[in-house]
Structure 1
């Protein structure tokens, strides 16, 4: 078992795969896959990208180095939850708490046309 340093984990990039996270935690990868399947994996967020499972390395760093969990460079593991340009059905009247957008930036909902 090799020792994983903080620098080595940061060098993995924004996300990594299950076998790598299992190696960092010193467990069998099948144990991690089974916990994810049973929705019992709480150590990190789980990103399902088709059939691929990715885990944010920032979550691993925060778990292992809790008091000093700030990463030297900002790492964005997942895109922001608000995508007004792609989602034409955003009509909230209040700003979103995480992205700070407001209805002035959103496009009004266009009802579907009935085909007769």
Structure 2
């Protein structure tokens, strides 16, 4: 791991050059340039502006400092009744809810 802190990466501004990005991820700059040339660099986006190659610092921050202990996601309760297009409840295979009544879909005005 490099000696770069999150604050130091953020202080670089919105983008940085390949040499600095390589230092941040602790990879030899020539390896990064070669991967970019072969279109095999997938750790971050690559911005080509003329002959310049820039790396978004937000991509580096996300790569290095993304939260590792994400809370498990809990499916939201169905909101079929809140839909302006559906009256009653509508069966949705994606959320797995079961209808208590048959829903009727109405076309929105102006659609």
2:59 equivalent to 1:36: no
Partner of 1:57: 57
Partner of 1:10: 10
Q: Is this contact kept in 1: 2:18–2:54, CA < 8 A?
A: yes
1:67-111 CA-partner distances (Å, limit 9, x unpaired): 18xxxxxxxxxxxxxxxxxxxxxxxxxxxxxxxxxxxxxxxxxxx
- Give the structure-1-normalised TM-score: 0.56
The DSSP-based 3-state class of the residue aligned with 2:44 is coil
CA gap of 1:33–1:6, structure 2 versus 1, over 3 A, is same
Distance across 2 between alignment mates of 1:38 and 1:2: 25
How far did residue 26 of structure 1 move?
Answer: 1.1
Which 5+ residue runs of structure 2 have no aligned equivalent? Answer: 69-111
The DSSP-based 3-state class of the residue aligned with 2:67 is helix
Could you list the runs of 4 or more consecutive aligned residues of structure 1 that deviate by over 4 angstroms after TM superposition? none
Larger radius of gyration: 2
Q: How many residues align?
A: 68
Equivalences for 1:1-116 in 2 at 5 Å?
3-67=3-67
- Give the structure-2-normalised TM-score: 0.58
Distance across 2 between alignment mates of 1:32 and 1:2: 16
Higher-strand-fraction structure: 2
